[in-house]
Amino acid sequence: MSIPLKHFKQGTAKPELPEDGVLRFYLMRFCPYSERGSLVLAAKQIPHHKIYIDLSEKPDWYTDYSPLGKVPAIQLTTVEGQPALVESLVIAEYLDEQYPGRQLYPADPLQKALDKILIERLAPAVSAVYPLLFTKDPPADALSKFEQALDVFEQEIGKRGTPFFGGEQIGMVDYMIWPWFERFPALKLVLPEKYELDKDRYAKLLEWIELVAQDEAIKQTALASEMHAKFIATRQEGTPNYDVAFEEL
């Protein structure tokens, strides 16, 4: 049974899904937090149904799975009562711990804690880039704040001395911060000055971006900068078109 490739919105009926024990993952295609869950599901090759949710006009039934109406949410169909989890980092850690395959978080408790802290340190970059991408009149200091926040990651990957933040192999930190790095190149398509990251200031980070982009889980979930720019244009006009994700460029 296939689920329509569209975002369910207010007034649309709940999709009929088979009782097949397969996880049900609720997301919005352009949401970076949703992409975190998609990446872990792909990396660990966990079967799941995707149900896309229109965040502007959420269907009434969606609160059965996410009481606050947020995405992502994941319904654990093999657990008694079929509970649902929300919050991207909670979902990612649960999947990492409960499903087989290579563990994405490090086994060492201290390193795991440090990695979680590093993930949270992306917040200033996200706060700075959001108005640049989604508003027509961002603060004058938004770009400088964005760059200062990225300096942390340029320095950190230099200190770690490994190809990935997760070490010699891609890990949870890499997956959890990637969705925003996927979106940053859209700045050159939406800003008048066609902004790109400075190749000298962010040499190591740009190498990391190029390397991560070759990961199979990333390839399965990533959207092209041009597609992000198309969605951003609809957001800036105040009429976000989530289904543009399913259109050809």
- Phi-psi region at 34: left, alpha or beta (left = phi > 0; alpha = psi -120 to 50): alpha
Q: Tell me 37's DSSP state.
A: H
Tell me if 179 sits within 8 A of 35, measured CB to CB. yes
**Rounded Cα–Cα distance for residues 249 and 244 (Å):** 9
**Rounded Cα–Cα distance for residues 237 and 209 (Å):** 30
Active-site position among 23, 27, 28, 31: 31
Q: Is 46 a catalytic residue?
A: no
Beta strands in the chain (DSSP E): 7-8, 23-27, 48-53, 73-75, 84-86
Catalytic residues, by residue number, are: 31
